[in-house]
Amino acid sequence: MNVAAGWGARVREAVAAGQNPTPETIDGLVRERADTLGRRGVHSEVARLSSALLGLGELASVVAEPEVTDVLVNGDGSVWVDRGRGVERSPVRVAVSQTRPLAVRLAAMAGRRLDDAQPWVDGLLPDGIRLHAVVPPLVESGAHVSLRVPRVFPSSVAALVELGTCSPVTAEILRGIVRSRRSFLVCGGTGSGKTTLLAALLAECDAAERLVLVEDVRELSPVHPHVVRLQGRAANVEGFGLVTMTDLVRQALRMRPDRLIVGEVRGAEVRELLAALNTGHSGSAGTVHANTARDVPARLQALGALAGLSTAAVDAQVASGIDLVVAMRRVGAARVVSEIGVVARSPSGGVEVRCAWSGPGIRGPSEPVGSGMPRAAGGVPPPGFAGASAGPGPAWEECCELLGDALDTRGVGPFPGAMGVGA
């Protein structure tokens, strides 16, 4: 740390002299001491200083662990990680005095500001790591940093089956949703796999379709030949230049999208999204934070209120613009599809989501226990999953009607109620 601090002072001097704090700057400064460090010494020192002064620093070794999905740094310098068993304390520590420089450096890597005027940041690091950081006085002690590390990038629905996110039967229902161009939302809690599922579904879209993605922070990376990405922007230090999700959705509608995709619906942009879904943009999709599928209408009503929409107005647009909801949930280290629901009018005149297919991991009734289930050590489903019931729900026939011929049941075994296949 003392050596790094010494080099850090030299880098700051170089910056003050007009040089950018880049890997090239560090390389040049270290090579000035090549006569004492030697060739190998220069190489290792450049790598170490690049990580300490420009990269993840002390967190690099933790992020490199294959099982780690979340890295959390508290203001006291303690580092906590999630390997799928809950948050655990790591032996790695960050000096309290270095938590803020670390947070500011990571924010700069994400192309964002972090200072007293803008004391929080939400961004994406070059390796696809999601960054969130908050600095005092919003938090005690030093800066708090949260990193979400992507470990799997399923390129298709078939890849979801391999991961245990869903069964082959469920995968065919998901493909049917895409092929039928039904508009849908993916819901779930934080870290439940909403973005991962949505990206896999978008990969199933026809190659001739133009997908326009709107995100506050870029996370979606669908494997598709025609993807246009729009990303929000924070205001500058003078308070100008803010680009909101609402602005982006409006612009996206003018870009001739075959499918409009909103990475996360969490504000007033729900008004523009619902308007788009009710004016011919079928097959569009998005994600929303909601614990279960049946909670989605209430969540959309709350977001609609932010845009000045009444509950009745939201319900009317949801009922006519959104067809289905796919719910995700996290079980240990696994992320599984927990429910597929149909959006319909409730007896009271509001909107509800009726269960069409449900179950942990959603295995079909004819599939063996553990098929398409989240895998624990040794391929054994986590406690509480083995033997759990799953299958069609009350709205299964409605779901089949919505998907029609797009629901192809060949090769997936008995499929109760689907176009006369099975009993």
pLDDT tens-digit series, residues 223-267: 999 999 998 887 777 778 888 888 988 899 999 999 999 988 888
Q: How many CA atoms lie within 13 A of 403 on its CB side?
A: 27
Contacts of 337 (CB under 8 A, 6+ apart): 160, 165, 166, 170, 174, 197, 326, 327, 328, 361, 362
Q: Are strands 130-134 and 259-262 parallel, antiparallel or unpaired?
A: unpaired
- Per residue in 337-392, pLDDT (tens digit) is 999 999 999 999 899 999 999 865 433 333 333 333 343 333 333 333 333 446 88
Nearest to 145 by CA among 136, 153, 154: 136
- The runs of H, that is alpha helices, within 50-94 are 60-63
What pLDDT is attached to residue 365? 35
* Superfamily designation of domain 157-406: P-loop containing nucleotide triphosphate hydrolases (3.40.50.300)
Contacts of 116 (CB under 8 A, 6+ apart): 135
Residue 409 pLDDT level (bands cut at 50, 70, 90): low
Burial track 65-75 (b if 16+ CB lie within 10 A, e otherwise): eeebbbbbbbb
Which residues make up the CATH 3.40.50.300 domain(s) of the chain?
Answer: 157-406
User: For all residues of the chain together, what is the average pLDDT?
Assistant: 81
Residue 296 and residue 315 in contact, taking contact as beta carbons nearer than 8 Å: no
16 against 340, higher pLDDT: 340
Which residues make up the CATH 3.30.450.370 domain(s) of the chain?
Answer: 57-151
Residue 326 and residue 336 in contact, taking contact as beta carbons nearer than 8 Å: no
In CATH, 57-151 is 3.30.450.370: yes
